[in-house]
Every structure is written in C-alpha cells, then in structure tokens.
Chains A and B, each alone.
Chain A
Amino acid sequence: MNSPYSDKVIQYFQNPKNVGDIEDPDGVAKEGSPACGDMVQLHLKVDKKTQLIEDIKFRSYGCASNIATGSIITEMAKGSSIDEAKEITWQQAADELGGLPAVKNHCSVLAVDALKEAIRDYEEKNGLIKEQLPTTIEVVKERLKHVMNPIHGLDVLHTNLISNIEIDDNIIIIDVGLDEDHQFAPVVKEDILEKLEHRWDIEKVKVSFQK
C-alpha cells in the first residue's frame, strides 16, 4: 500500500520519544497554527555553563507529521549546544524522517519553530538577547520562510508565491500570487497573519490575493 508517510514517520508516530514536561524548564515554547489547528509545546533544560541542551521534552496536539517531527527534533537537539540547535532546519528534520508529505509540511514546521522559540525564551530569560530589531522587509521575508505553500510543501517565499511586500507606517502589505478563491487561500492567509501580526512594531498585516 502506498502510505503518504515514511516508515520512520509511522514509527515515531506510534512510539514518540521525549514526550512530556520538564519540571522548572529553562526555556518553554508553544507554537500553534490556527490554519491547521496543530500545536506543539516544548520544554528545555540548558546547562548554563556549557550552553548544552541537557534535556528536551515535547507535547503535541496534532497529526502524525506533527508528532513525528516533534519527536525527531527533540532527539536531534538533545545534547547539542543552543547555537547548534538553533540552526536545525525543517528540511533537516524532514530528511531525518525520510521525507514528509508535501501538503503536511506546515504541520511539521511548527515543531522546528517551537524549538527556536524555546531557545529564544531561554536566551531572553538569561539576558542573552540583544535589543529587538525593527521589522524590515528582510525580517518579513525571514518569517515568511515559515509559511508553507501547501501546493508544493515548500515555503511561500521559495515557491515565488509572494508577489509583493511593503511596509508602510507599521502596516505590512503582502500580495500573494494565488487566486482569492483558491482552496488554499484562507490557510495561507491565516498562516501569514499568525507569523507577522505579533511583531512588536506592527499594527496591521494586510494580505491580498489575485482577483
């Protein structure tokens, strides 16, 4: 039978590793996607002298891709330094899992985001973060790399789905090269809003599609 999931994804789905909470965690994150509804919680314990991740645990309120990615990413991060762990990409996680179905990639990118957020949380709490950067086009592009184009399963930026980005007076304007009645238009919009709306210096995000 032709399952959309690799054997490894199924293995992790059935027997996820590093599930749970850490008492008094040094860093926590909860990433959720309103588009697909999945959610990942991540707890970190960091050795403050060596900056190595001593322990890492996750919980998932999500589908098989979400559970499997949460599991693999905790295995990849455990024992590595926070700087190394920060560099773990969604692609590396997907490769470790023997691939993920294109349409499901945005459920799995959450786990990667959660890891980055948990590290950022740890850094913030421990005075390791410099001041907040203003939102520039480059920052927007960086965030958009975490929004999936469900048609290809790659991010909206690399698949040239974004036709224009403007920042004007604390408002971000994004034009998406997708028909407004495309089946994925609402999902893409929700994902973009979720990634950008909470920027400290942004009041509004306007996303428009082709008429």
Chain B
Amino acid sequence: MNKEMIYLDNSAVTRVDKKVLKAMEPYFFDNYAVATSEFAYTMGIEAKDALDQARMEIAGSLGAKKEELIFTSGTTESNNLALKGIMYNQKDKGHLIVSEIENFSVLNTAQRIEKEGYDVSYIGVDGEGKIKFEELKAEIREDTVLVSIQHANQEIGTVQNIKKIAKLLKDKDILFHTDATHTFKRIPIDVSEIPVDLITISAHTIHGPRGIGALFKRDSVKIKKIMNGGFQESNLRAGVENIPAAIGFAKAVELITEEENKKLKSMRDKLIERIEAEIGDVTLNGSRKDRIPQNANITFHYVEGESITLHLDMRGFAVSTGSACFSKSLEASHVILGIGGDHVRAHGSIRFTFSRYNNDQDVEKIVTAIKEVVENLREISPLGKEGSEKNEFSLQ
C-alpha cells in the first residue's frame, strides 16, 4: 500500500493505535488463558481479572457499572443482541420502533424480526437527519416494547437528541436502545443522566482493534441470549472471551481526549468551510450544528461519487460515497434518500471522516485534490452547463 495515502474513511474503521496493540500483546503471548472461575488456575484467574478491569473502565466511561457491559464482536452483534434479545424475550410478540436511517445491523435485524411476525415501525427523519419526534410519539402503542434510535448517523453524522427521546420513553415504560458506534468517546453519554436502557459501542471507530464491541444493558433490563453455548458474559453471550481485544478496547477508550475531539472538529469545520467557499453547487448533508466532530458529508452536484472516489484514490486519498455505483447492493444511500434527498443528491455525495492520524495539511491536500477532480468531472458531465438542463435534476 502507498505510504502516502491520506485516509479519510475513519467511520468505516480506524487505524489501531500502537499503544493499543502494545497493551494487547501480553494477552496473546504471556497470559493467553481464558477467563476461568476464581476456583481454577492462576493464569485463568488473572485473565478474568484483566477482563473485568477492562470491562470496568469501558463501562465507567458511560457512567455504568461493570456488570452492565456485555462484550460482543462489535456493532453488528451488539445491535442484534439488543433488538433480538429484547424482542425474543417477550411473552407476546410486541411492537418495535426504529428510525429509517439506522445502520444496516439495526435495519436488517428489525426486518428479520418483522418477518417473524412482530410489528415494526420505521420513523422518518427531517432534512437534517433528525428523527421526527412527533412521528415517534404517534407511533407509540400499548404493545410497544423497544425503540432503537442511533445516537449519530454513520453517513451524515447527524446527532440525535437521545436525552429527549429517552425521557419520553422512560415516562411510557418503553425500553430504549441507541447505537452509539459513531459517538462513543466523541460525544459524552452518561447513563446516570440519560435513562437509556441499551447502548451499542465498538472499538473499531476509536483506534481500537476490530472484532470487539460491547452492549451496555441496564441492570434491570432482561434480554434473551441469542448466541448459545457456554456461560460467558453473565450467560448472555457464549464463546471464548476475546481478552486481548477487550484490553485493547479499554486502552483505546483511555487514549481519547477532549483535545483530540476539538482537533477533529476543527479539521471538519475547515474542510466544510473551504469546500463551500471554493467549489460551487455543493450541499452539506446532515446538520451543521448537531454533528459528530469527525464527519463531513458533501454532495458535489452534476458528478458521480464513484468517479470522485476513484480519482481521489489515484491521488492517494481514501473517502467513501453514498452513490449507488459504489455500493454492493447498487442502491443509493438509504440515509441520503431518508433525509429527503433524491438519487442525484446521493449520487454525488462524499463522506470525509477524520481521525487522530489526520492533520491540517491533510485538509489542505484534500481540498486541492477534490477541487480539481470535481472540476474535471464537471467538464465531462451533461449537467450543470450554462443554459443547459441544470433544472432537469432538482438541486436540493
């Protein structure tokens, strides 16, 4: 791989911090035992203690107790465990509510649950990607069991007011799950202040190893085990514990600072500001105000996203797009369509996501590159020409 590559796809996965890897190493080579009961051998007891310590640190960062954290293999499993674990635990098939811009691990799990005979409602969002609160209120029924609404969106970075949602649901005695994959350690959540019942978090977005995540589950909440086998994770998630990864996860949590989040925000703002000032006919997707610090998502009208990403790749930049051409399903981003954008808006949308390993020079370089790329592609495009069919496709 090109060493000069500037990686701006950090909401997909982040580079592992060397300090994280270093913290993990002893648990591969020195103490590689499983977490045994306290009646077993020393190595196993020590492994269990290390796992508990990691659990306590990660839970602590959410204001939770260590007993409230279940380690999983990541976001997808945590979301599956939250939704299936709650819904399958009901005596009568109940009602589930999710937003329509959730990550696929929530949406496709909800659809699977729906196929099994449960009722599922999908809540729409406004032009910024904020859920329609009145619609949520209206969808709530006698038999509503669980509401799952993400803390922030994976593509457009819009942050939901989960405090307001949690309070509404608490009053109505309905469980609330939030997928905080893209806000964990970036925007604080304190479960002693916000009455949320289940939270999905993951290490892969915060310079931790992939293959480890967790589900916060409030003590009082009962879920059904979906991975059957041994009695690990308080008998809620079977399988040999991934102790090295859990240690790495805890280290990753420790390494994120407020200062780093400020730096991310500053790079993000600078990128948006310069693109808006220097390139015509662009639209910022998502909220300007309520936005995760690491994300900018911009539509460059009249050009297609896969073409942009390919040109940028050749120049040494990694970004992603909501264009149908880029996706495995050939469908335009359900998030951009969800915020009322059409295929055209999705077609030219580019997501830039920053991390610890980016700096202000990267912003300079990507702005220069994308200006040229967009200009060249607009030369080829039949759209946006003076006096031509600028209006044939609506500009949003």
Segment from A36-44, A72-80, A90-98, A168-176 that makes contact with B: A36-44
Chain A positions 30-82 with a Cβ under 8 Å from a chain B Cβ: 30, 34-41, 59-67
Contacts of B379-394 to chain A: CB distance below 8 A = 379-383
Q: From A34, which residue of chain B is reached at the shortest CB distance? A: B343
Give the residues in chain B near A37, CB-CB below 8 Å. 304, 323-325, 332, 343-344, 346-347
Complex alpha-carbon distance, A16 and B323, angstroms = 21
Judge whether B310 and A64 touch: CB under 8 Å.
Answer: yes
Q: Are A41 and B382 in contact (CB under 8 A)?
A: yes
Asked if B37 CB lies within 8 Å of chain A CBs, one says no
Q: List the A residue with the shortest CB-CB distance to B303.
A: A61
Of A13, A63, A184, the most chain B CB neighbours within 10 A belong to A63
> Chain B contacts of A104 at CB under 8 A?
325
Closest residue of chain B to A182 (Cβ to Cβ) is B329
Return chain A residues, CB-CB under 8 Å to B343. Answer: 34, 37
Known contacts A37-B304, A37-B343, A59-B381; A184/B325 CB under 8 A:
no
B319 CB, min distance to chain A CBs, angstroms: 15
Residues of chain A within 8 A (CB-CB) of B379 are 19
Would you call A150 and B330 a contact (CB within 8 A)?
A: yes
CA of A178 to CA of B97, assembled, Å: 28
Nearest A-chain residue to B384, judged by Cβ? A61
Separation in Å of the A185 CB from the closest CB of chain B?
10
B100 within 8 A of A: no
Give Cα distance in the complex from A19 to B306, angstroms.
19
Question: Given A13-B307, A67-B307, does the pair A36, B380 have CB atoms closer than 8 Å?
Answer: no
Given A36-B330, A37-B324, A37-B346, verify A64-B302 contact (CB < 8 Å).
no
- Using known A-B contacts A35-B330, A37-B347, A183-B329, determine if residue A16 contacts B304 with beta carbons closer than 8 Å: no
By the criterion CB–CB under 8 Å, are B381 and A187 in contact? no
Residues of B286-339 whose CB lies within 8 A of A: 302-304, 306-307, 310, 314, 323-326, 328-332
Contacts of B314 in A (CB 8 A): 14
The closest CB in chain A to the CB of B308 belongs to A63
Question: A16: which of B111, B328, B347, B380 is its contact (CB, 8 Å)?
Answer: B380
Give the docked Cα–Cα distance between A10 and B366 (Å): 21
- Residue contact B303 to A63, C-beta cutoff 8 Å: no
Contacts of A39 in B (CB 8 A): 382-383
**B332 smallest CB distance to A (angstroms):** 6
Query: Nearest chain-B residue to A106 (Cβ)?
Result: B330
Contacts of A126-164 to chain B: CB distance below 8 A: 150
Q: How far, in Å, is A135 (CB) from chain B's closest CB?
A: 27
When distances are taken between beta carbons in the complex, the residues of chain B under 8 Å from A35 are 324, 330
Min Cβ gap B236→A in Å is: 29
- Could you tell me how many residues of chain A have their Cβ less than 8 Å away from some Cβ of chain B? 32
Q: Is the interface of A mostly helix, strand, loop or mixed?
A: mixed
- A97-109 CB mask vs B (1 if < 8 Å, else 0) is 0000001101100
Q: Are A63 and B330 in contact (CB under 8 A)?
A: no
Which partner residue on chain B sits nearest A59 by CB separation?
B382
Quick check: A62 and B325 within 8 Å, CB to CB?
Answer: yes
Q: Are B381 and A61 in contact (CB under 8 A)?
A: yes
Are B382 and A30 within 8 A (Cβ)?
yes
- Minimal Cβ-Cβ distance residue in A for B325: A63
Q: Which residues of B contact A103 (CB under 8 A)?
A: 330
Quick check: A61 and B310 within 8 Å, CB to CB?
no
Query: Distance in Å from the Cβ of B368 to the closest Cβ of chain A?
Result: 18
> Is the Cβ of B307 less than 8 Å from the Cβ of A63?
yes
> Is A187 within 8 A of B382, CB to CB?
no
B380 with A60: CB separation less than 8 A: yes
Residues of B within 8 A of A14 (CB): 314
Q: Which residue of B lies closest to A30 (CB)?
A: B382
Chain A residues near B310 (CB, 8 Å)? 13, 63-64
Contact with B along A7-27 (1 / 0, CB 8 A): 000000110100100000000
Q: Report which residue of A61, A150, A183 has the largest number of chain B beta carbons within 10 angstroms of its beta carbon.
A: A61
Min Cβ gap B372→A in Å is 12
Give the residue of A41, A61, A106, A184 whose beta carbon is less than 8 angstroms from that of B304: A61
Whether A64 lies near B307 (C-beta < 8 A) is yes
A36-B325, A37-B344, A184-B330 given; A63·B382 CB < 8 A: no
Residues of chain A within 8 A (CB-CB) of B380 are 16, 19, 59-60, 67
Q: Which residue of A lies closest to B378 (CB)?
A: A61
Nearest neighbor of A1 in chain B, beta-carbon distance: B1
Q: How far is the CA of A16 from the CA of B160 in the complex (A)?
A: 44
Complex: how many Å from CA A181 to CA B107? 13
The 0/1 profile, CB within 8 Å of A marked 1, for residues 342-372 of chain B is 0110110000000000000000000000000
Tell me whether A187 and B307 are in contact in the complex, defined as CB-CB below 8 angstroms, given that A34-B343, A60-B380, A63-B323 are known contacts: no
Most buried by A among B304, B326, B330, B331: B330
Residues of chain A within 8 A (CB-CB) of B344 are 37
A187 vs B330: C-alpha distance in the bound complex, in angstroms?
A: 7
A19-B379, A36-B325, A64-B310 provided; 10 other pairs, C-beta below 8 A?
A16-B380, A36-B324, A36-B330, A38-B304, A59-B380, A59-B381, A59-B382, A62-B304, A64-B307, A67-B307
A-B contacts, 29 listed (Cβ < 8 Å): A13-B310, A19-B379, A30-B382, A35-B324, A35-B330, A37-B324, A37-B346, A38-B304, A39-B382, A39-B383, A59-B381, A59-B382, A60-B380, A60-B381, A61-B302, A61-B347, A61-B383, A62-B304, A62-B307, A63-B304, A63-B325, A64-B310, A66-B304, A67-B307, A106-B330, A150-B330, A183-B328, A183-B329, A183-B331
Across the A-B interface, give the 5 residue pairs with the lowest CB-CB distance, nearest first.
A59-B382, A41-B382, A63-B325, A63-B306, A183-B329
